[in-house]
Each structure stands twice: as structure tokens, then as C-alpha cells.
Amino acid sequence: MRVLQGVAGAVIVLGIFSSVLRTLVIPRPTRSGFTQVVQRLVHRPFQLLANLMSSAEAKDRVLGPVAPLAILVTLVSWLVCFVVGYALLEAAVSGFGIRDALVESGSSLFTLGFASSKRTTLTVVDFCAAATGPIVVGLQVGYLPTLYGAYQRRETEVTLLQARAGSPPWGPEILARYAQVELLDVLTDLFRNWERWSAQVSESHTTYPILVHFRSPKATRNWLIALLAVMDAAALRLAFNPSLPKTEVRMALRAGFVCLRDIADMKGIPYAQDPHPDDPIELSYEDFLRGVARMEEQGYPLQRTPQEAWPHFRGWRVNYEALAYRLARDIDAVPAPWSGARRTPVAIRAPLTPVDRRPVG
């Protein structure tokens, strides 16, 4: 019996150490099964409640605390598992009952010191437990600033995009607004910035997967919908303006769908590695025409007709549409034009567009 307790305790302690290392220490995409289970258990009741909500704002209020709460619950779960694992080890080497072993383990893990033994074997286990508690808490304390720093960098560009793409963002709205304020000459700066943004998000959101579920401060903003809008704007630019410079536009588009694929790989979502340009997409030609009408309304110059541009646009969008729609559904992103369906029916929000009032004369 004591041998089984010792084996079980060692397995629990080593398994949780592996989870801590994968989640907090190793600077590369690594999946911890324990962390994933805890986060899913935290997320499920909130998601069930959000599914009952009829508005995007209500859903956002319900889902907003989920990711931060999952971090806290994960830390508590690690510590509880360490208490149990070390208690089993102490019971194995000392013959203590489970209750006494839990008291000794908790006293050592949290460095309280109110329960201790003079037995050498127990002292070794107590020292290991006493080192474990501060290490895990210290790693978590160091992890949070890194996590929130990546979140703030992500949200800065998403917030800046609001004036350029509406709220929620929409690809045609980006080109329409740049045409409206006569800034099409500097549109490549936007794509250059979002190429770098995509690379940063790819790195941070695969290293720290919980960031995928961190929501923006406002219900009408979302990092995924913002990225989708920029990629759609890039695809529209390439489809309608073949004579204009393409380098920054193509790089932003490629960086965007590489970012989505990296996140999909981390989450185990399948996708077509090399889709054919003629493969079907969910966006209808009628919805495409509505976006083009918005661009034309604000004076965006079109070098091709919508009929000529549609195959080119579709050939670009096939690279990222399915993944963007799947992720938008998974995280219940704010409904927006050209962003697919959600878990439960919610009205698609049209981008809020301020009136550009100019002095007469």
C-alpha cells in the first residue's frame, strides 16, 4: 500500500511540475493536458450561460472574466495537486495516515512550518515541498506581467484600428475610410504595422494559449475580427488594384494567415495546408458586392470590376477564411460582417461609421 502511495505521489508531483514548466517556463508552443482540462472546466459554465444571452454585449460581459479566472484556478489547482502528491509521498515514507500527511505536506508547501518531523526521510520530502510552493507562486507572479504585456501590445493596435475600420472592424471599411480622408498613399504603413503585429501575436498566443481567450476592453472590439478585417482589406487591395505596389500588402496578408495557422496548430484545429484558389468560400458574392459598394461610396478607386476582382479576392480569402470563422466561433468574437456564424444566433453588427463633417467652402 505504501509503495502504491509513493508511486502515485511521485506521478502527481512530476506531472504537475511538467504542467508548470510547459505553461510558464518553456518559451515555445507546448500543450499541457492538465492546464487544458482546468481551463475547459472553468470555461464551460460561462459558455453555457453566454449561449443564453441574446446580445453581443451580454455575451461579452459573461465571457470577459473567464480567461483571468482560468489563470487563478490553474494556480490553485497546481498547489492543491502538489499538496496531495507530497502528502502521498510522506504517507509512503512515514506510515502517516492521509490526514496527518496532508497537514505535513500543506505546512511544508506553504512554508508555514507548524507541522514538522525529525525523521530524515520526511525532512527530505518537506524540503522539496517547501521549495515547490514559492517556486510555483514566483513563476506565476513573473508570468502575469509577461502575459498582460503581450495583451496590451495586442490591444493597442486593435484600438488604433477602430478609427480606420469601424467598430467592429470590417475590411471594406478600412479602404473606404482611407479613401474618404485621402490617405490611400500611406495605406501600406497600415499593412506593414499589421505584418509585425501578426508575428507578435503568433509568438505570444502560441506560447501563452490563454491569450486567445482574453477579450478586448470593449464588446465591439476583438483581436481576431481586427486581423480578419486587415486581411480582407489586403485581399481587396490586391484584387482591385493590380498596378499598385504589392509587397507590403502581400506580406501582411501572408503574416496574417500564418498567424492563424500557428494558433490552429497549437489548438489542434485541422485546416487545408495548400488550398486551391478555386476552392469554395462561405462569403457570398452578394455580401462581397455590398462591401464593394461601401468602398465605391467613399471614392475608393477600382481598377477592376467586381466581376473581374471576385476570383482574385476569393483566391486570397480561401487561405484564411475557414480558420478565422472557426476561431471566431470558438471564442465567441463580436459578430461583424464577413466573419461567419457564432455558437448561437446573434445579429451581425454593422461597423459604426462617424460622419466626416468638413467645412463648406
pLDDT bin (cut points 50, 70, 90) of residue 67 is very high
Give the mean model confidence (pLDDT) for residues 120-142: 79
Please report where in the chains the cell 464593394 appears, as a residue. 292
Is the pLDDT at 251 greater than 90? The verdict is: yes
pLDDT bin (cut points 50, 70, 90) of residue 43 is very high
pLDDT bin (cut points 50, 70, 90) of residue 120 is low
Is the pLDDT at 124 greater than 80? The verdict is: no
Give the mean model confidence (pLDDT) for residues 16-30: 84
Give the mean model confidence (pLDDT) for residues 4-27: 87
pLDDT tens per residue across span 294-345? 999 999 999 999 999 999 999 999 999 999 999 999 999 999 999 998 888 7
Domain map (residue ranges) of the chain? 2-141, 166-330
* pLDDT (0 to 100) of residue 111: 67
More confident residue, 56 or 234: 234
* pLDDT (0 to 100) of residue 360: 46
Is the pLDDT at 361 greater than 60? The verdict is: no
Give the mean model confidence (pLDDT) for residues 258-265: 95
Q: b/e map of 191-208 (b: 16 or more CB within 10 Å)?
A: bebbbebbeebbbbbbbb
CB atoms within 10 A of CB 144: 12
Grid cell for residue 341: 456564424
* pLDDT (0 to 100) of residue 177: 92
pLDDT bin (cut points 50, 70, 90) of residue 116 is low
The secondary structure of residue 185, as a DSSP letter, is G
CB atoms within 10 A of CB 218: 16
Residue 198: name the closest of 251, 139, 141 by CA. 251
Q: Which residues contact 191 (CB under 8 A, 6 or more apart)?
A: 230, 234, 248, 249, 251, 252, 253
Omega prior to 172 cis, within 30 of 0: no
pLDDT tens per residue across span 147-204? 999 999 999 999 999 888 888 999 999 999 999 888 898 999 999 999 999 999 999 9
Is the pLDDT at 355 greater than 60? The verdict is: no
